[in-house]
Amino acid sequence: SSSFGASRSFTGLAGDGQGTTYEVILCTRRDVTRYLFTFFILCVMVLAGALSFFCTMSVDVLTGRLSINVTVLLSMVAFTTQRPAAIECLPYNTVYDSYVQFCTCMTALTSFANLATFLRCFEVIDGCDECIRMEEPMCHRYGWCGALVIDCRFVEAILGIMLMYNVRVFGTTYRNRQRELMHYRTVCGDASWSLFHNLPVAQHSPG
């Protein structure tokens, strides 16, 4: 059984007929749907950081945008320092760890994108404390997202990277799970597989 979520378990015991050698096969099936909400929250936090792209251009534009990014980034750091109890002592990165690290990097990337917007579009000259470079079409025209064209490009990049990473992570996880189950089915046979597959899911409290 597992202390980290709902699980299904089956133990197979095989001997050599002489009573001297035994092989014990323990298989645990974890219900991962309860952790999808955690991944969803992380995605929402990245998108919350991306809302900084919609701040209007003003003399305090960089301060306002980076304050949003720093707030989200600090929240991400809290996720990286608090692993679930079931994987707290593991010496390697799990899918959860990799996902948190990815979302943290995306938030940091959003901060650099805001800095790039400021350096390219904003200038302070004599007689003007908050001037947008009018010779830059991406800095004074509004795009499909309602922000400046350059910010809309960054929004497209963030959304595209997030979508591709999620497809890759969940696709890889599904393939690995199917591979492990097929290996178990090969080792234990169809009868054992059917018994395991029909086991009721036992609920365990985390920790």
Digit-coded pLDDT (tens) for 121-170: 877 666 665 677 777 778 777 888 888 888 899 999 999 999 999 999 88
E strands in 20-140: 22-30, 122-125, 128-132
Cα torsion 176, 76, 81, 29: sign: negative
- Mean pLDDT, rounded, of the chain: 75
Which among 83, 108, 107, 109 is positioned nearest to 97, based on CA atoms? Answer: 83
Amino acid at the residue 198: N
Which among 80, 51, 81 is positioned nearest to 66, based on CA atoms? Answer: 51
Tell me the average pLDDT across 32-45: 82
Full-model pTM: 0.69
Digit-coded pLDDT (tens) for 81-91: 777 676 777 77
**Beta-bridge partner residues of 25:** 12
Digit-coded pLDDT (tens) for 159-206: 999 999 999 988 888 888 788 777 776 766 654 555 555 544 444 444
How much of the chain exceeds pLDDT 90, in percent? 15
Backbone φ, ψ for residue 124 (5° rounding): -115, 115
CA distance 40 to 37: 5
Residue 107 has a pLDDT of 92
